[in-house]
């Protein structure tokens, strides 16, 4: 709902600001200012983007996950898009995303919100770790779930039982009263 509202209101606000700024400084100066912010955004994106990429490489060299660097990279891409979008309101938000202190503040707020909502997950080698993950303390599977590996023991037509015409299905099944017996065979 908020995204739809922003999509509808942002162009209206941008047009109103264009008209106001154009009335104060003139049409050509307004257009020049818009182009200047777009080119300035591209230059800032290149400079800060390379710095973030270098910090990410250093983090990886220390065997640390580059979480902050990935977030900074995302913010810089968003800032570049906002500065390339014609408008003064989007330019203000884009310029804010280029400020490292603002990105740290934003990252802290987002981590706090995600932790509060319980939607922060960490995956290591494909397995979820941390609070609420399968390896956390006190974590137990739901009732009736058995975590195990299986192997198929169905006799093969060309297998060892094929030479014995009287050989039937395997008899290595649990006894009928065992709780490990499949439910349909009880």
CA 21 – CA 13 distance, rounded (Å): 12
Kindly report whether the global pTM for this prediction surpasses the value 0.85: no
Would you write out the chain's pLDDT as a tens digit for each of its 186 residues?
788 998 899 999 999 999 999 999 999 999 999 999 888 888 888 888 888 888 888 888 888 888 888 888 889 889 988 988 888 999 999 999 989 999 999 999 988 887 777 655 655 555 555 555 555 545 566 677 777 777 777 776 665 555 555 555 555 666 777 766 666 654
* CA 81 from centre of chain: 19
Residue found by looking up tokens 């979008």 in the block:
85
Residue 131 Ramachandran class (φ > 0 left, ψ -120 to 50 alpha, else beta)? beta
**Do residues 37 and 83 touch, judged by C-beta distance below 8 A?**
yes
* The two three-digit tokens of residue 7, written as one number: 């999509």
């Amino acid at each position: 709902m908020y995204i739809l509202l922003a999509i509808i209101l942002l162009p209206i606000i941008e047009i109103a600001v264009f008209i106001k700024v154009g009335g104060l400084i003139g049409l050509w100066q307004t257009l020049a200012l818009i182009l200047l912010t777009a080119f300035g955004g591209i230059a800032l994106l290149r400079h800060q983007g390379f710095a973030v990429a270098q910090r990410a490489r250093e983090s990886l060299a220390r065997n640390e996950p580059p979480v902050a660097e990935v977030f900074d990279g995302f913010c810089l891409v968003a800032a570049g898009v906002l500065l390339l979008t014609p408008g003064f309101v989007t330019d203000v938000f884009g310029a804010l995303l280029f400020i490292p202190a603002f990105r740290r503040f934003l990252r802290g707020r987002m981590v706090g919100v995600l932790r509060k909502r319980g939607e922060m997950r960490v995956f290591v080698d494909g397995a979820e770790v941390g609070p609420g993950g399968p390896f956390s303390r006190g974590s137990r599977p739901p009732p009736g779930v058995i975590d195990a590996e299986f192997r198929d023991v169905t006799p093969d037509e060309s297998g060892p039982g094929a030479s014995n015409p009287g050989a039937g299905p395997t008899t290595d099944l649990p006894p009928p009263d065992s709780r490990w017996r499949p439910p349909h065979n009880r």
